[in-house]
Each structure stands twice: as C-alpha cells, then as structure tokens.
Structure 1
Amino acid sequence: MRGILFAGLLSCAVPPPLPAHAASPLPDGFVYLADKAPEIRQDIRYAGRQNFMHRPLAGYRAAECILTEAAADALVKAGKLARAQGFGLIVFDCYRPARAVRDMAGWSAAGAETDAAYFPQTRRDRLIAEGYVGRKSAHARGSTVDIALAPLGGAPAGPHAAAPCSRHDRQTVDFGTAFDCFHPFSRTASKKIAPSAQTARRQLLALMEKAGFRNYPAEWWHFTLRNEPFPRTSFDFPVTAR
C-alpha cells in the first residue's frame, strides 16, 4: 500500500515535458535579435524614459529587440555590410506592440506643449497631423527597425550637430539630428545638415537597402523589410525579456 501511494506521489510531482514551442513566449515567426545577432547593440528607448514621452510605453516589459525571423536575418546581413565599412549597428526600436502605438497616439493628443529635445517647433497635439506620430505603425507588423551606425567597439563618435533638437546620440556617428527628432531636418534626404551627416545617412541607406530594407523618407533611422512576412497584421503581444 505504501509503495503504491509513494509511486502515485512521484507521478504527480513530475509534470510531463512541455512541447517545444512553449519554450518561447514569442509567436511563430518571431525571434529575439540577440539570438541571431548578439553583436548588434540595443538601446530600446521606449522601454525606459529616454524618449519623447519621457516614460516607458505600454507593452514594453523589457528592453529587447524582437523582430520577425526574416527581418532579423536581413539585419544580420546589414551588420556584415556595416562591419565591412568600419561600423557597427545600434537599434532603438524594433517590434512595437499595437497597444504602444495607441499609447503614443493618445499621449500626443493630450497636450499642446513643445519639447526642445524632441519636437522643438511642433506642438504635441500636432504631431499626428504633421506625420511624426501615427495612429498605426509598421513597427507593429514586426519587420520594421529604427537603426543607426555606430563606431566599432563602442568608442565615442565625436561631436554631433547641436541643432535642431537639444540632445545628442553620442554612441552613433553624426546623422545631423538625434533619433526621434521630430523636425524637417530628420528627413533622410535633407540638405540642411552637415555634409558629413548627409554622407552617414547615405551610407546607412545604401547598406540597409542592400540588405533588403526600404526607408521611410521622413525619418533617416526608420527601415522596413521589403518582403515582410506579415504585411497586413498588427501584433499586440508584449515585449518581454529573453
């Protein structure tokens, strides 16, 4: 009797093995970039306070870059192209949950101030109308990335242009504006920035296009995979730690 009871307790104490797909919290077709390209630096701004809303956005539970596997594989190629030119890559945002997109839109409509660091000449309640914030975002489809070139080894990049936003991304090369500077100077083809910054933008554009991405012309940092696997689907799962 004791032996039967003991065996029963043992069988209850050892759960059956989980199916293989249960090991990852991500939907099928998505990966953590760090598992594909650990050499690409990550500075996921919307998971913290260093962004235009000055707080973490809804759905960002970790500072992790999540992408579709196709986009991550393309970034691996982009990283190799960058290293051949003496650069590394740094990402500021990758997959963005739909709830974060709604959070941005709601926040943008709820104030009328400007912000010298992010939107120095456009009122907060005009950010959507002027195209700086969207009610929908390609980021929610999982194949869009905000990215910049960085010196190999993480060495300081040197002086950055001060205008038009009163902040700098000193870990990147000089692109003429910082990431998420909502200003006409952030347009990829802007001629209002220093020649060296124009060159940096052309270099980033060329290598990302060669890796299979297309640029959003209003933002030098914003790229979407041309043949994205989910072109009509906005996802809303949270960004979680690996």
Structure 2
Amino acid sequence: MRTILLAGLLSCVLPAPLPAHAASPLPDGFVYLRDTAPEIRQDIRYAGPQNFMHRPLAGYRAAECILTEAAAHSLRKAAKLAKAQGFDLIVFDCYRPARAVRDMADWSAAGAETDAAYFPRTRRDRLIAEGYVGRKSAHARGSTVDLALAPAGSNDGGRHAPSPCSRHDRQTSDFGTAFDCFHPFSRTASRDVSPAAQTARRKLLALMERAGFRNYPAEWWHFTLKNEPFPRTSFDFPIRER
C-alpha cells in the first residue's frame, strides 16, 4: 500500500518527459533558416546531385539551410533589402559540415578530368591548387552563405548571356556564370561578363554589405558575416531534417 502511495506522489511531482521533437538537433547558437526567414528561397545543392561532384556530400542528410543565429538574422535583413528592389534571395549553401569539406577535397584530388558544366578549363586534380576547392572552409563556421538574387515571385530569371560553364541557374537573375562555376569569370569584379551580369553582382554585393556581410572576391555568390560568432571554430554536426 505504501509503495503504491509513494509511486502516486512521485507521478505528481516529477515533470512529464519532453516529446522527442522538443530536443533541438542543433548546437547552441544555430538555427534553421526557415524558422528565422521563411521568405528566403532554398536550393541546397550539396544535398543532391546538382553540384560539381554530382552526388550528395558527406553530412548533408537534408536540403536545409542552417546558420548561426546572428547570420540568419542578418540574412533576413538582406532579404528585406532585396524585396524592396523587387528580388528574392535564393540560397545554395549555408553551414557546411567539416566532413563535407574533407569530402570535397578528397574527391577533387582523386581525378584528372574537366567538367564543362562546372570546371571547364581546370583539371579536377588542380581545383585545390588553383583555389576553387579548399581543405578548410568558412562554411564550417556557420556564418557563410552562397546565394543569388531572383526576380520576386518568379521561377524564371529570364534570358541569360552565354556562360563559360555549360549550364545556367535559370531561376536566378543573370550573374554571368552559374553558382559554383570554377572559372575566372566568377570573380566578383570580373569585366568579362555582360553589363547586366556586372550590375546584378554589384546589386547583390551592395545589399549584402548593408546587411553586415563581406564577399569572397573569387566568387560572386559567397558571403561571410563580418562579425561572425565562431571565427575560429569549424563544426561537423550533420545537416538533418528540420
């Protein structure tokens, strides 16, 4: 009788267990972009085959943009600036696990071919030496994003001028090259792309700088939060379903 009474008292005092979905799969300081800025379009390339490796990268278990909370809020500001000019932001990559960075480097060193769609003039085993692929990446710190502008509310970016890579990101504005085109024309300040593409790059650069990001000059699509919260830490947690 005493045992039954004690069990009843404990059941009244002890808190009920949290549901399984209540536990966040993210480290402190990280968020899913959909929870902070659902208006930003996502096309996470390394979670599928539409990338220079033609397969999902290690650690990409879901097509989700994860960022530090600070980067996500600043990106939301950039999205508002873009919307005021008639554009949406579309992100291609955000946080990248360190294991994916190693996957890229190992893959790049294991072949000698070129790829007309991604690296038309640089052999695969030269991608690291020529700076297109790194053995370390700012993406692993969680405050770096690859992105472009797209006409608001449209899945068609319109007519694109010929590009050195044999593909186009048709949903985006014309930036002169597609995302992850490993070619000198992808340098942000390149004058070898059309005037319209140069204008699109300047527009993206200006609004991202206003939102607190700095550009990597070799890639028009690559931006890192200036005051990133983890400037010396590379993370390796996998990207899981939100």
Same structural fold, with TM-score higher than 0.5 when normalized by the shorter chain:
yes
Question: Is 1:223–2:189 an aligned residue pair?
Answer: no
Cα distance in structure 1, aligned partners of 2:221 and 2:68? 18
Query: Paired residue for 1:45?
Result: 45
Query: Where in structure 1 are there 5+ consecutive unaligned residues?
Result: none
> How far 1:161 moved relative to its partner?
2.3
TM-score, normalised via structure 1 length: 0.93
Question: Is 1:130–2:158 an aligned residue pair?
Answer: no
Question: Is 1:197–2:197 an aligned residue pair?
Answer: yes
> How far 1:160 moved relative to its partner?
1.4
> How far 1:154 moved relative to its partner?
2.2
Cα distance in structure 1, aligned partners of 2:44 and 2:175? 18
The number of residue pairs the alignment matches comes to: 237
Cα distance in structure 2, aligned partners of 1:228 and 1:20? 31
- What SS is found at the alignment partner of 1:154? coil
> How far 1:23 moved relative to its partner?
2.1
> How far 1:76 moved relative to its partner?
0.7
Cα distance in structure 2, aligned partners of 1:19 and 1:39? 28
After superposition, what is the alpha-carbon deviation per residue over 1:191-232, rounded to whole angstroms, capped at 9, x for unaligned? 000000000000000000000000000000000000000000
Change (3 A) 1:137 1:189: same
Q: Give the letter for the 1:47 counterpart.
A: A
> How far 1:93 moved relative to its partner?
0.1
Query: Where in structure 2 are there 5+ consecutive unaligned residues?
Result: none
Cα distance in structure 1, aligned partners of 2:231 and 2:71? 12
8 Å CA contact 2:155, 2:170 repeated in 1: no
Question: Is 1:30–2:39 an aligned residue pair?
Answer: no
- What SS is found at the alignment partner of 2:153? helix
Query: Paired residue for 1:186?
Result: 186
> How far 1:16 moved relative to its partner?
3.7
> How far 1:22 moved relative to its partner?
5.7
> How far 1:18 moved relative to its partner?
3.5
Aligned ranges for residues 12-27 of structure 1 at < 5 Å?
A: 16-18=16-18, 23-27=23-27
Cα distance in structure 2, aligned partners of 1:129 and 1:26? 33
Query: Paired residue for 2:88?
Result: 88
Q: Give the letter for the 2:65 counterpart.
A: C
Question: In percent, how many aligned pairs have the same letter?
Answer: 85
- What SS is found at the alignment partner of 2:31? strand
Question: Is 1:150–2:183 an aligned residue pair?
Answer: no
- What SS is found at the alignment partner of 1:130? coil
Cα distance in structure 2, aligned partners of 1:72 and 1:20? 25
Cα distance in structure 2, aligned partners of 1:171 and 1:165? 16
